[in-house]
Structure 1
Amino acid sequence: MKRFLAIGSILTALVLGACGTNEEHKDHSATSSDEVPEILEVDLTVPETAAAGEAVTFTAAVTQGKEIVEDADEVKFEVLNISSGEKEMIEASLNEDKLYTIDYTFKANGTYDITSHVTARSMHTMPTKQLSITGGEEAASTVTEEQAAHGEVADHHHGSVATIDFKEGTTTVGEAVMLETNVTLTEEPLEGARVKYDIVRSDTEQHTWLEAPEQKAGVYQTEFTFTEAGTYEIEVHVTKGNDIHEHVKKKYTVK
C-alpha cells in the first residue's frame, strides 16, 4: 500500500511540475508577443551643396535600437528636382562600413530633395534632405511652347496658399493609426500634390518621414504605429510643382 502511495505522490509531482513549466512557457510567450519592437532609425547623410558633373555620395545608416541593420529588405534613394519635378529612384548597396550608399552625378542646377526609402523588419521610414547644385545646365522647363503661347502656365497656383487640414489626436503605443490630411486650394480639393509627414517625439531629435499617397481628390493618407509613449510633433509638408510648398505642425499624444 505504501508503495502505491509513493508512486502516486511521484506522479502527482511530475504532473504539477509539467503544468508549472507549461504555464511559465505561456507567460513567457505572452510577454514576448506583447513586446513592441524598437523603432527603425535612419541617419541620412547628404551634403548641402555640390557641383554639377561631380559624383556625390549619399549614405544611410540604418539602426534598430543599438543594432546596426544589415539585412534591410530594400533601400532606395529618390532624387527629386524640385523645379522640374523630374525624379529618379536608385537602389543602394551596403558598403564595408555597414552604410547603404549610392554615388550620383547631377547634370542640372537646382534644388533637390534626396529621400532614402528604407524597408526593414516590417517597418518603413523615409527621411528627406535637400541640397543645391550649381555649375551645370539649367533645369529643363516642364512647360510646352504651346502652353506658354496660350498663357496656360500654372500661374493660378502662384501666390495662392493651400489649406492643410490635419487633426491633432491621441492614440496608444502599438496601435496602428491612420494619418489623414485634406488639402484644398481656393476651396477646391488639391489633387496630385506630394504630402509627407515629419514625425518627431518632443524630447528627441529623431525624425521619421512618411509619404501619404492620395486616396481620393485632395485626401492623403498613410498608416503609422507609434512604438513609444510621449508627445509627438507631426509636421505635414505639401508640395506641388514650383508654386506650392506649404506646411503645418500639429501635436499627437501617445499613451
Structure 2
Amino acid sequence: MKKFLWLGLPILLLAACGTGEADSSGAGDPIEEVMVSFNTDTQADPSEEVVLSVTVTQGDEAVEDADEIVYEVWESGNRDNSEMITAEHTEDGVYEAKTTFEEEGLYYMQAHTTARSLHVMPKQEVTVGNPDPDSIVSDDSEDSQGMGKMEDHSGH
C-alpha cells in the first residue's frame, strides 16, 4: 500500500503544478486594478472648508478619464443621512470636491469611483475637532448601501 502512495504522490504533484499554467494560457493580459488613494487629511476643524481629494491610477498611469467620482460623506452612526458630492478632475488623476463639517465628530468619506469599466469604493475616516469618544459609533454599514444613492445621483 505504501508503494502505491509513493508512486501516486509525484503524479498528483505534477498534475497540480500543471493546472495553473493551463488556466492562465490564452486568457490574455489581466485587467489592472483601478487604485484610488486619498489625499485628504484625516483631521479637520469644524466649520472649515475641506477639500475631498483622491488620486486615481491604473498601473503606473494616472486615470484622467474616470466616468464618475462621487464622494459620499456621513457622520458616524448616521449613514442614512449621507451627502453625495460630485468630484471634478483637476490634473494628474486627481479628483476633488469641497465640503464643510459643521460639528465635531468622526466622519466617513467614501469615494465611489467608476473608471475604465471598473467600480471601486474606498473609504476613509475624518476626525473633526476633538469629538467625545462616547459619541462615536463604529461604521458597520455595508459599502453597497451607498450604491442606491449613487444611482439616484447619476441623473443630476
Question: Does the 8 Å CA contact 1:43/1:60 hold for their aligned counterparts?
Answer: yes
Q: How many residues align?
A: 114
Partners in 2 of 1:54 and 1:128 — Cα distance? 21
Equivalent in 44, 51, 66 of residue 50 of structure 1:
44
CA contact (8 A) 1:76 1:89 kept: yes
Structure with greater helix percent: 2
Bigger share in strand: 1
User: Residue 91 of structure 2 corresponds to which residue in structure 1?
Assistant: 96
The equivalent residue for 1:182 is: none
Q: Counterpart of 2:120 in structure 1: which amino acid?
A: T
In structure 1, runs of 5+ residues without a counterpart are 1-29, 139-192, 197-210, 214-255
TM-score normalized with structure 1 length:
0.40
SS where residue 194 of structure 1 aligns?
A: coil
C-alpha contact 2:40 2:54 (8 A) present in aligned 1: no
2:142 to 195, 198, 205: 195
- Checking the alignment, whether the CA contact within 8 Å between 2:39 and 2:52 is kept in structure 1 is yes
Write the letter of the residue equivalent to 1:90: I
1:131 aligned to which of 114, 117, 126 = 126
What CA distance in whole angstroms lies between the structure 2 residues aligned with 1:55 and 1:135? Answer: 17
| Amino-acid identity (%) | 32
Larger RCO, structure (CA 8 Å, separation 6 or more): 2
Q: Distance in 1 between matches of 2:142 and 2:118?
A: 19
Larger radius of gyration: 1
Moved segments of 4+, more than 6 Å: none
Instruction: Report the CA distance between 1:67 and its aligned residue.
Output: 1.0
The residue that corresponds to 1:87 in the other structure is: 82
Q: How does 1:1-255 map to 2 (within 5 A)?
A: 34-85=28-79, 86-134=81-129, 194-196=141-143, 211=144
RMSD of aligned Cα (Å): 2.6
- What is the identity, as a one-letter code, of the residue corresponding to 2:38? L
Contact kept? 2:75, 2:105, Cα under 8 Å: yes
